[in-house]
A and B are shown apart, each in its own frame.
Chain A
Amino acid sequence: MASDVKARVKVPKSATAGGTITIKTLISHKMESGQRKDGDGNVIPRSIINRFTCEFNGQLVIDVVLEPAISTNPYFEFEATVPEAGEFTFTWYDDDGDVYTETKAISVS
């Protein structure tokens, strides 16, 4: 597992039904591109988050493919409409097979 990986998500606690909210996510990850060499000239193997998804009550909100040029600690900010109360599930897929998940509940007023 890549070291020091920590996912962070910021979602409002409540929204109006059908309203739009802003979601912010950040995962600390070194995003090693696979292009660099160490002091001895050996290639440092690629190790990045290669996919990020967000689902709301099982329905896909966003699905992102990440490439090696994306810098360290990838940050995503996007909008979502909230039709009903429920739960957002955020998933990050690591090159090494690890999957990091965060969930956030939201109520509707």
Chain B
Amino acid sequence: MKRTTTLVSVLALAAWTAGPTLAGPDDHQLVINDEIQIITEAAAPAHMDGIDTIYSGWRFRADETQALELDDFENPGMIGVENAMAIWETVDGSEGKSCASCHESAESSMKGVRAVYPKWNEAAGEVRTLEMQINDCRTTRMGAEKWKWSGGDMVDMTALISSVSRGMPVNVAIDGPAQSTWEKGKEIYYTRFGQLELSCANCHEDNYGNMIRADHLSQGQINGFPSYRLKTAKLGSVHNRFKGCVRDTRAETFADGSPEFVALELYVASRGNGLSVEGPSVRN
């Protein structure tokens, strides 16, 4: 009788330890539509000290979530891309122009753009994100109203611009005139915010692969943005995600498009130099 009890408890222990272990990224390969090879693992860029290997957030998601990205038909983010294709051709503003009037086909003219943004703009003397460049086009060339930073049209348009660069390695410049902005972003990344006193690095550098309550922490890479979140059932911008993270530290967040978030976006993008552009991605 005693033997049986012992055996049962040993089995129970074995069953418990054999549960899913989420100690890090899985080893799955991401190939979209059976043709676009996505690099989800690469050697960390030289400027990073705390991490040797960088991983796309895709590698930290559940199999079911990962599967949604394998086929554009199943990727809900592609609905946003389709919307943006229609907007691309639609004339707006006082100049009677659409995006296509100057840029013709997004598939060829926008190829590679996502990979190098945020990027220094010499004429404006500032680092610009895709959103800033799009709104500059809208106001100065089209004579149209600005879009809201994280509004539907804007996020759909960045999804379209990302989608045509999928598979190309992220390669943002951090030297030259962009360097001071990059340094500022790095400082924000390592600064503890909020009542919980958490910096980006506390979760995404020191603890990626571990569970934070029910969530499997990734490295916080932004190569997959804009990202379709199953939780909100819509595409979200990078700054929207940043706000969510800062809010979760119980801090007052910076605003969409603030200089702080532009700097942080450049810095975080540079931590993904070498991973493929993946947006629109699917996350939980």
* Chain A positions near chain B (C-beta within 8 angstroms): 4, 6, 8, 10, 24, 26, 28, 71-73, 75
Contacts and interface: CB of A to CB of B under 8 A. Distances in A.
16 contacts: A4-B83, A6-B79, A6-B82, A8-B73, A10-B73, A24-B73, A24-B74, A26-B73, A26-B74, A28-B79, A71-B233, A72-B233, A73-B76, A73-B79, A73-B233, A75-B74
Contacts, number: 16
A10 to B, nearest CB: 5
Contacts of B82: 6
Interface of B: 73-74, 76, 79, 82-83, 233
A52 B82 CA distance: 23
B187 to A, nearest CB: 38
Nearest to B76: A73
Nearest to B82: A6
A73 B73 CA distance: 12
A72 B79 CA distance: 12
Contacts of A73: 76, 79, 233
A95 B73 CA distance: 25
Nearest to B79: A28
A17 B79 CA distance: 33
B80 to A, nearest CB: 10
